Amino acid sequence: MLGGKKVIVVVPAYNAEGTIERTLAEIDRSVVDEVIIVDDAGRDRTSELAQVRGDSVITHTANRGYGANQRTCYGEALRRGADIVVMVHADYQYSPRLIPALAGLIASGHYDVALGSRILGNGARTGGMPWWRYVANRALTALENALVGQKLSEYHTGLRAWSREILDALPLAELSDDFVFDSQTLALAILAGANIGEISCPTRYMEEASSINFRRSIRYGLGVVRVSLACRRALRGRPRGVFRSVSMLDVPRSVDQHRHVGIAPAPPLRTIETGDQSGI
């Protein structure tokens, strides 16, 4: 609990056996009420290693993609009554020790979304981010800011915190199963009127850390531009597609002050409950 709010950490994972233990070990259990790991049908021992700490592990029966993995993460966290949901990648590229700080931004009532930014400070390049990724990140972020009227330092982080209210307001069931899911959720949050905060986050680029290749990076970048353009149209009163599912909302909000969009029914999952799940 943090400020009387239930905090659940979700960890989307895929072939993360080299890093999952270190990621889970650095989560502050004095603040975090539950940890949920979702293994997207990886071929290694990620699920087995994740069970050791007694956390909940959900394993997809087939690989569904990064966005679909997060949809399972958020849907399960909301089902278990989370007030604050923090997502951290399983590849140890982002510091789990910052989870209390991110959750605190949400618990303060000042922010609906909080991001751990690799770009604030000097952490990106000193942490080993390849120069071409750094340049692409800065260029995409500048374009996104220009299109949607924000001043964020980064849109592409794998360390994010959400209030229950804003997650409930997003049409998660309609979003991409691929990496552009991240951009869609932030764009929709902006359209919904969310207040977004950031903190500086160190990064670690290493052999075990997951990373999409150059070709998929290009496809991702083009997808981000399309999402930003769609968000700009919606902000100007011409929403299309999923952007028709979100209305401008007053903040701060309570659960009763907005429309619950809901989560799509999940395909068959294998759930391994290894911790004390009393009260769930």
Rounded CA-CA distance 175/170 in Å is: 9
Rounded CA-CA distance 23/36 in Å is: 12
Longest CA span, the chain: 50
Look at strands 84-88 and 159-163 and give their pairing. antiparallel
Rounded CA-CA distance 90/158 in Å is: 9
Residue position matching structure tokens 């924000």: 150
Give pTM, 2 decimals: 0.85
Position 172 scores a pLDDT of 94
Structure tokens at 24: 């889970």
Domain ranges of the chain: 7-257
Rounded CA-CA distance 190/151 in Å is: 12
Rounded CA-CA distance 163/166 in Å is: 6
Residue 163's DSSP bridge partners are 84
Q: What CATH number is given for 7-257 in this structure? A: 3.90.550.10
Structure tokens at 207: 């052999």
DSSP annotation string for 149-184: T---S-S--SEEEEEHHHHHHS-GGGS-SSTTHHHH
Residue 231, CA distances (Å) to 24, 135, 137, 237, 243 in order = 35, 23, 19, 10, 7
Residue position matching structure tokens 């997650």: 167
Strands (E) across the chain are located at 7-13, 34-39, 56-60, 84-88, 113-117, 159-163, 196-200, 269-273
Rounded CA-CA distance 128/125 in Å is: 5
Structure tokens at 47: 């699920």
- The whole-number mean pLDDT for each consecutive block of 10 residues of the chain, a chain of 280 residues, reads 96 96 97 98 95 93 96 98 98 96 97 94 74 87 96 95 95 94 96 95 72 77 95 92 71 36 38 36
* Residues in the chain, overall count: 280
DSSP annotation string for 104-117: HHHHTTS-SEEEEE
Rounded CA-CA distance 118/50 in Å is: 26
